[in-house]
Amino acid sequence: MIRISYNARYIMDSSWNRFAQFLSYKAERAGKTVVEVNPRGTTQECYKCGKEVKKSVAVRTHKCPYCGLEIGRDYNSSFVVLKRGLEEVLGQGLSKFMPAETEPLPREISASSVVESGSSLQ
């Protein structure tokens, strides 16, 4: 329907709006808050220093020439979205924002230490 319709943009917008409604409803029931942030420029902004680092869509790694940060593009973008959301909720600048982890954990976890959900060991 989206490929052949001249209203494809409006169909997509209404789908995202419906998703946001569902998300807000579920968050409210769970006692959580949903914060909408402007996604513009999240893939170009360095979450650590805030500088704009231009890159094409094909480039999948964020390499900041200003602060030296090198992480996955989507990972960086998720931190920018989180930072913007926290700034909106807290109402203050978070210039010292630094997530607890910027890369996967270095050590491996033994499979014997993993407890399956619903097992009697919980």
Q: Which pTM was predicted?
A: 0.62
Is 70 within a domain?
Answer: yes
Is 53 within a domain?
Answer: yes
Decide if 73 contacts 61 (C-beta within 8 A).
Answer: yes
Mean pLDDT of 6-12: 68
Is 99 within a domain?
Answer: no
Residues 16 and 46 in one domain: no
Residues 44 and 61 in one domain: yes
Domain count, the chain: 2
Decide if 56 contacts 63 (C-beta within 8 A).
Answer: no
So what's the pLDDT on residue 23? 92
Instruction: Please give the residue range of the domain that contains residue 53.
Output: 38-94
Is 113 within a domain?
Answer: no
pLDDT above 70: percentage of residues in the chain: 64
Is the pLDDT score of 98 beyond 90? no
Residues 10 and 45 in one domain: no
Collapsing DSSP to helix, strand or coil, 8 comes out as: helix
Residues 42 and 90 in one domain: yes
Residues 56 and 9 in one domain: no
**CA distances in angstroms from 66 to 35, 61, 84, 94, 97, listed in the order given:** 29, 15, 20, 19, 17
Q: What is the pLDDT of residues 59-95, one digit of tens each?
A: 999 999 999 999 999 999 999 999 998 888 887 555 5
Is 111 within a domain?
Answer: no
Q: What average pLDDT does the structure give for the chain? A: 80
